[in-house]
Amino acid sequence: MREQAEPALAEVLARLAPADLVLIEGYKREPHPKIEVRAGQAPSLAAEDPNIIAIASDERPPETHLPWFRRDDVAGIADFIGARRL
């Protein structure tokens, strides 16, 4: 079985147009607003990526000024996303 290459983010978004909001997983290297989700003591990507706008983790990360949410705070994360409408 031949595996297909992952489509470019621009291609995915073009297929979904005219959607008001698209939530994606992956595409870490693309320059779009991101919420970093991490478990345990995983190292933060936020220090290296200025496109990370918030962090969702089990514990408040001490090394960042970004908004923080518990990973299970679905309502809080949804409100944050809705308020940021880009």
Task: Give yes or no for a contact between 50 and 33, defined as CB atoms under 8 angstroms apart.
Answer: no
Q: What is the pLDDT of residue 47?
A: 86
Q: Are strands 34-38 and 52-57 parallel, antiparallel or unpaired?
A: parallel
pLDDT score for 2: 63
Is the entire prediction scored with pTM above 0.85? no
Structural domain boundaries of the chain? 25-84
Q: Do 53 and 64 meet the contact criterion of CB atoms below 8 Å apart? A: no
Mean pLDDT by 10 residues, the chain (86 residues): 82 92 90 90 85 93 89 96 81
Tally of CB atoms within 10 A around 56? 20
48 φ/ψ sector (left φ>0, alpha ψ -120 to 50, else beta): alpha
Q: Dump strand ranges (E) for 1-86.
A: 34-38, 52-57, 68-69
pLDDT of residue 86: 54
